Amino acid sequence: MHKNYYQLLGIKENATQVEIKDAYRKLSKRIHPDMNQGEPFFEEYFKEVQEAYGILSNQDKKRTYDSGRFTPRNVVSQSPTRNIEFEITRLQMRLRDQNELVTSLQEEKKSLSQELDHFVKALFEVKNERSTLQRKVQEQEMEVTVLKKALREVETTTKPTPAPSPELQKKVKTLELELQQYRESITGKTRELASEVQRTQFLEKRVQELTREVSQKQGKDQQIQTLIKDLESQKAKLQQVEAQTAQLTNELNRRTKELELALQQKATLQQNLQEAEARRQQSQGKTAPTAGKADQYQAQLQELASQKQALQNQVHELEIEAAQLKQSLQETDQQLKLETAQKATLQGKLEQQEKQLSLQQASLQTKTQELEQAVVEKKTLQERVQQGVKEIQSLQKALQVKAEELSKISSQLTELQKQNQVSKQETEKLHKTVKNLEQQTAKDKKEIQNQSQALQAKEQELRATTKQKQELQVQLKETRQKQEAQQVALQAKIQEADKEQSQKKALQTKVQDLEKEIATRQLEVSELKKETITVKARYAHLGHIQPFLVEHMDFFNSDKPEEFGTSFEKQDIKYIFSRMKIAMLTDKPGKLNVLVKYLKPNGQLYFNPQSSPTGYSFAATINYNPKEEYIYLSGWGSDRESTFVGGDHRVEIYDESGRQLSRANFQVKDQLLKLSKLKSFF
């Protein structure tokens, strides 16, 4: 037989030089004696791989090898068991690589489960934030209703305000444009985040498919291991057959040597017989021998005849044994032929399995590359999500700054509008007063002119009427004082109207801000609801691990089963039961085994040494249903007396794997002594 260098390197016969080089590098790294603690088997294997690479990498040597590969030669190759050993080691090394890949996938699965735990915690936090946001939205809606009522009352009493200046309008428009740009950028970022979330969902589905394929490959690996065991058993059988053939060849050699010795003895005896017959004939031709010599000759002839029969018997026995050995050799040859045929079929199966393994390894490599790409994409997506969150936070901060600037500018606008209104009103009032004064002064001038003319005409009458003039001057002073008082009252009324208008504008700005906050909070609540829906849909497959999430946990006493809370009087307690508000992850009802801890204020455990499991107060089974909002759990206590000590107690609930489902605290209050007992005590 001839060495199969292609089979040694694990490549096809039409492989290129690049494929030969890659196969040699991979094999040499794996089977190097330094990497395998200097075992002699790997040393021989490494030498043969080097020999194969030296022949196949050279074009001339490869051509001569390929031409003389199928021609008969007298060169004795290595035993078939050695080829089987090489194939077994190659399969074991491939199994080792696949086991390493499976361990890496299991580690990734653990990291994904840890991320799931973090996500569950984040989901609790988001739900708490959602409840707080809903409360704030309700409070702000109440404030908006109150402010709207106040605005309506103010609008009934005040008049409409004039339009602001064009510069302020330009500033407001620019700020509104900037706000729109910020909002558009935020919407774009949210869309990018949604697309990245979809990509993460796709990657998670891909990871699940790859884990399934890994499980299938583990089954195939088990099949390969069974084939390897079959090969080892066949290898042991071949070794036994080789040992038997060696024994048979040794026996054949020994028996052939015995036959040769017997044939030599037969030839010597025949020569002795011929010589004796020749002597007898000579003696008969000469003279008749004496009676003593004749007896001696007869005795010698009888001995020779007996020796001849004994030799013939030995030769016959040796011929029978040789025939038996020939039959046994023919049978062993037939067995060897059958075993060689079985070996050829096994080698064909091995080659097919190696091809399948190579295809599986190629698919594994592609899938590992896809996994690595998915992990890289996941990391990049997480980084992008973090960057997007940071950018959104920065944009929100910028929005807050811009909103503050808008509020400041709006306040400045309102103040300027107020000042414009006040100034306009004052100018109008001043114009009116000036006109009134001018009219009055014109009238007074005309009257004074008429009076002066009358006085000039009637100086004598004026002298008599000086008292009337003095009275007129007093009346003028009084009218001026009345006008000044009316102006002061008008200014006070104008100031009151300005204050009312400023209050109205402030209330309007507050109402607008509150409406914006309510809209943003409603958007956040809707987004949180969408996120919860998507999260439930994304982690619906985790329902078999954890069918529900506990949002809140409170307690009730057995005497008052309709009153829920977290504080109880010590005298009223018999049994304390717990109630859990849940968010379902599954669509089907079922049961869940649970372990419960009731802990004292000092951290010690309430337990019953007869029935409590180790480390827990008691064990129970929870029946859950997706239609129900609450789950009720059995409690702890006794009918004789209060088992609970005063202080803060803690209840912790775990599943069978040790994962904590929920925990909560309740307070036990000690009863105060009555006044009569206090008096007797003192």
Residue 490 pLDDT: 79
- C-beta atoms surrounding 435 within 10 Å: 10
Strands (E), 301-370: none
Q: Which residue has the higher pLDDT, 156 or 513?
A: 513
Residue 616 pLDDT: 92
What's the start-to-end Cα distance of the chain, in Å?
114
The whole-angstrom distance between residue 524's C-alpha and the CA centroid of its chain comes to 26
State pLDDT tens for residues 334-368. 777 777 777 777 777 767 777 776 777 677 677 76
Cα gap 478→544, rounded to integer Å: 97
Share of the chain above pLDDT 70, in %: 75
CB neighbour burial string for 298-313, b if at least 16 within 10 angstroms, e if fewer: eeeeeeeeeeeeebee
State pLDDT tens for residues 125-148. 766 777 777 787 777 778 777 777
| Three-class secondary structure of residue 664 per DSSP | strand
Cα gap 34→271, rounded to integer Å: 70
Q: Which two tokens stand for residue 98?
A: 């696949």
SS (H, E, C) 179-220: HHHHHHHHHHHHHHHHHHHHHHHHHHHHHHHHHHHHHHHHHH
Residue 7 pLDDT: 85
The amino acid occupying position 96 is R
**Whether residue 226 has pLDDT greater than 80:** no
Q: Are 646 and 668 in contact (CB under 8 A)?
A: yes
pTM above 0.75, yes or no: no
Residue 54 pLDDT: 92
Q: For residue 136, which phi and psi values (nearest 5 degrees)? A: -60, -40
Q: Which residue shows structure tokens 């031409």? A: 67
- Superfamily in which the 540-681 domain is placed by CATH: Macroglobulin (MG2) domain (2.60.40.1930)
Residue 533 pLDDT: 75
Q: Are 276 and 301 in contact (CB under 8 A)?
A: yes
Average pLDDT over residues 579-601: 88
State pLDDT tens for residues 77-101. 445 566 666 667 777 777 777 777 7
Question: Where is 653: in which H helix or E strand?
Answer: strand 647-655
Average pLDDT over residues 384-390: 72
Q: What are 591's strand-pairing partners?
A: 623
Q: Are 572 and 559 in contact (CB under 8 A)?
A: yes
CB neighbour burial string for 649-667, b if at least 16 within 10 angstroms, e if fewer: bebbbbbeeeeebbebebe
Give the pLDDT band (50/70/90) at residue 673.
very low
What's 631's DSSP letter?
E
Can you give the residue ranges of every domain in the chain? 540-681
| Three-class secondary structure of residue 3 per DSSP | coil
The whole-angstrom distance between residue 274's C-alpha and the CA centroid of its chain comes to 103
Residue 595 pLDDT: 93
State pLDDT tens for residues 444-501. 667 767 765 765 666 666 566 667 767 777 877 887 788 788 778 878 888 887 887 7
Q: Are 313 and 306 in contact (CB under 8 A)?
A: no
Q: Which two tokens stand for residue 4?
A: 């199969």
Average pLDDT over residues 313-333: 74
State pLDDT tens for residues 117-126. 776 676 677 6
